Amino acid sequence: MVVGLREFALRTGDGSPALDESSGEELMHVQPSVAVALGDRSVESPGTLYITSRKLIWLSDADVAKGYAVDFLSISLHAVSRDPQTYSSPCIYTQIEVVEDEDEEDEDEEESNGVLDLSKIREMRLVPSDSTQLDTLFDVFCECAELNPEPIEEEGEEENGHNWVFSADQMVVGGGGEEDAEWQISQSPTSVIGHSNGDESIAQPMLELQINDQRFDDAEEMVHENETKDH
Amino acid sequence: MLFFSYFKDLVGQEVTVELKNDLAIRGTLHSVDQYLNIKLENTRVVDQDKFPHMLSVRNCFIRGSVVRYVQLPPDGVDVDLLHDAARREARGA
């Protein structure tokens, strides 16, 4: 899957775009006489808009080598834009998801050395010469967006539900009632460090270590073995 | 499906949708689908200077995957109900 806008020039004999029929891509709508404006650039025309079940394709009528395509997966937002003061002609306004480049200093830089980088285009306007078609185009865009949900890598999205929602009881690792026992620290001087869960054989070596091993004695004082220590 | 059902109940209310590109759009929730794609009506952009191109837009369709937050009207949320429903959903009920 390609993120963002890209060039597209694959045409069939009748001038329509070549589709990926093996993946089930179908043509949903054709709108002739549509101009396209990328980013802040001026409008390009004349052209024909092809809406497939997977992507938008605009092919220039004048230049057979010129065309653009963007997957619906990359179209973040689309809307009908009608205010003549903001933009001269009513159009479909779209925002395109772009691969974020961390090295880029100027985010608006679409052209370097005069060559337009299509993958950095964030906004695109489609201006049909027949503006009564705008609502139809908007509806087709909605339909196609719904046909292209985010791909799911793991299986059973509906079975597992959202794995980001969980309750407090699910936070316990290796849960159960024994947790409290681990945290009890007995105050008895002959007790072991920690607490064995009923298995007293484990307790013995620890007891001996505490009482007999002089490595744990304080350096300055010679403390007798039987004296109470707080370890 | 929890939030799909939840948003369906909110249709007709004013919400603000904040996208992952920082654009925030306020409008009336017209509809939502299972992917949480959102259609808003009577939209206006919260920070108009940053996104002048959206000024002429009144209705829009927002892809669910680009939504960062949906800001809800405070009296449009029954927090306890939502909390319980989320807990039940987490348990797989």
The domain limits of chain A are 5-11+24-101+118-147
Give the pLDDT confidence score for residue A110 in this predicted structure.
Answer: 55
Sort A95 into a burial class: Cβ within 10 Å, 0-12 / 13-18 / 19+.
Answer: buried
**Does the distance separating the beta carbons of A83 and B55 come in below 8 Å?**
yes
Evaluate whether A59 touches A7 at the Cβ level (below 8 Å): no
Closest chain A CA to residue B87: A167
pLDDT in tens, B5-32: 999 999 999 999 999 999 999 999 999 9
What's the mean per-residue pLDDT of chain A?
A: 77
Q: What predicted TM-score, i.e. pTM, was given to this entire model?
A: 0.72
Residue A48 CA to residue A132 CA, distance in Å, equals 16
What are the residues whose beta carbons fall under 8 Å from the beta carbon of A111, sequence distance 6 or more?
A117
Residue A5 CA to residue A39 CA, distance in Å, equals 11
Token representation of residue B22: 């920082």
Q: Does B65 touch chain A if contact means CB atoms closer than 8 Å?
A: yes
Beta bridge partners of B59: A80
Give the pLDDT confidence score for residue A230 in this predicted structure.
Answer: 56
Q: How far apart are the first and last CA of chain A?
A: 62
pLDDT in tens, A173-219: 544 444 444 444 444 555 455 555 555 555 454 544 455 667 777 77
pLDDT in tens, A128-158: 999 999 999 999 999 999 999 998 876 544 5
**Does the distance separating the beta carbons of B19 and A161 come in below 8 Å?**
no
Residue B92, min C-alpha distance to chain A (Å): 8
Domain boundaries, chain B: 2-91
Q: Give the three-class secondary structure for B18.
A: strand
Q: Which residues of A touch B53 (CB under 8 A)?
A: 81, 86-87, 93, 123
Residue A89 CA to residue B66 CA, distance in Å, equals 27
Q: Give the three-class secondary structure for B49.
A: coil
Q: Vertex B60, ends B16 and B49: CA angle to 5°?
A: 60
Residue A162 CA to residue B64 CA, distance in Å, equals 15
Residue A102, min C-alpha distance to chain B (Å): 14
**DSSP output for A153-205:** SSS-HHHH--TT---GGGG-TT-STTHHHHH-----TTPPSS--SS-HHHHHH
ipTM of the complex: 0.90
Q: Give the three-class secondary structure for B89.
A: helix
Residues 68-87 of B with CB under 8 A from A: 86-87
Q: Does B17 touch chain A if contact means CB atoms closer than 8 Å?
A: no
Evaluate whether A76 touches B21 at the Cβ level (below 8 Å): yes
Closest chain A CA to residue B68: A76
| Residues of A engaging B, defined by a Cβ cutoff of 8 Å | 75-83, 85-87, 93, 95, 97, 122-123, 138, 141-142, 145-146, 149-150, 158, 161-162, 165-167, 170
Q: Which residues of A touch B23 (CB under 8 A)?
A: 77, 95
Sort B50 into a burial class: Cβ within 10 Å, 0-12 / 13-18 / 19+.
Answer: exposed
- What is the fold, at CATH topology level, of the domain defined by B2-91? SH3 type barrels. (2.30.30)
Give the pLDDT confidence score for residue A23 in this predicted structure.
Answer: 87
Sort A79 into a burial class: Cβ within 10 Å, 0-12 / 13-18 / 19+.
Answer: buried
- Rounded average pLDDT over A118-125: 93
- Rounded average pLDDT over A31-44: 93
Q: Vertex B58, ends B56 and B61: CA angle to 5°?
A: 115
Yes or no: domain A5-11+24-101+118-147 corresponds to CATH 1.10.10.60? no
